[in-house]
A = this chain, B = another copy of it.
Amino acid sequence: MTARFVEVHRNILSKNDQMAAALRGRFQTAGVLVVNLLSSPGSGKTALLEITLTRLAAAGYRGAALVGDLATDNDAQRLARSGAPVRQIVTAGVCHLEADMIERHLDGWDLNALDFLFIENVGNLVCPSNYDLGEAMRVVLLSVTEGEDKPLKYPPLFSTANVAVITKIDIAPAVEFDRALALANLAAVCPAIPIFETSARTGQGLDTWLGFLQEQRAAFVAGIKALPA
């Protein structure tokens, strides 16, 4: 990248950060826990999100989702089956979501009526890491089929994540997944990150994942109440 490019890029990031900070304030006021999901294309973000929205709704929580893609509203259609409010953000070629895309797509939604808002980012292990969307929690997904070395090869994104989810664990034997190596690589890049192991297909690990989300929401709401007025 040229110096000029880097400079313009910084200005855009700075504008994004300001908008993200404003969004974060709105989310806190409304008590909605916002979760930004990031991964490679095809790691299972939509599958995990569909079952998560369905199970949270069954437990009495009110969830919604914003879904980013370069093209198509396939993911929004899949997620709508959960019954939760879902909106597709078509980025028209942009390789990541930005805070202003989130802001525009919240229009008309009552944030006070939500407990969770999930943002499914564009499938990309590089570019989304630079863009704060006002989320409370950044979750990186790593499927067992992708290779255990992904945290080492994409450190910027993994190191900014708060939570890691290893997906598709039902096919771990078929792809000879080396779990110990994957955990060691995650530990090397994002020490002490909470790691969940799930299969959206078999349901394995979902109780633990959903319990964690509910605890985080409770802590988030309690934390907001504890903030100085």
- Point out residues on A near B: beta carbons under 8 Å: 1-2, 4-5, 8-9, 12, 40-42, 69-72, 74-75, 93-95, 122-127, 143, 145-147, 149-150, 152-156, 168, 171, 174-175
Contact = CB atoms under 8 A, between A and B. Distances in A.
Contacts of A8: 4-5, 8
B12 A1 contact: yes
A228 B5 CA distance: 39
Chain A interface SS verdict (over half)? loop
A153 B69 contact: yes
15 contacts: A1-B12, A5-B8, A8-B8, A41-B150, A42-B143, A42-B145, A42-B147, A70-B155, A70-B156, A71-B153, A72-B152, A95-B127, A123-B153, A145-B168, A174-B175
Contacts of A4: 8
Contacts of A70: 126, 153-156
Contact of A126 (B2, B5, B72, B127): B127
A40 B123 contact: yes
Contact of A40 (B1, B40, B75, B174): B40
Nearest to A4: B8
Given A41-B146, A70-B126, A123-B153, 12 more contacts: A1-B12, A5-B8, A42-B143, A42-B145, A42-B146, A71-B152, A72-B152, A122-B126, A123-B125, A168-B175, A171-B174, A171-B175
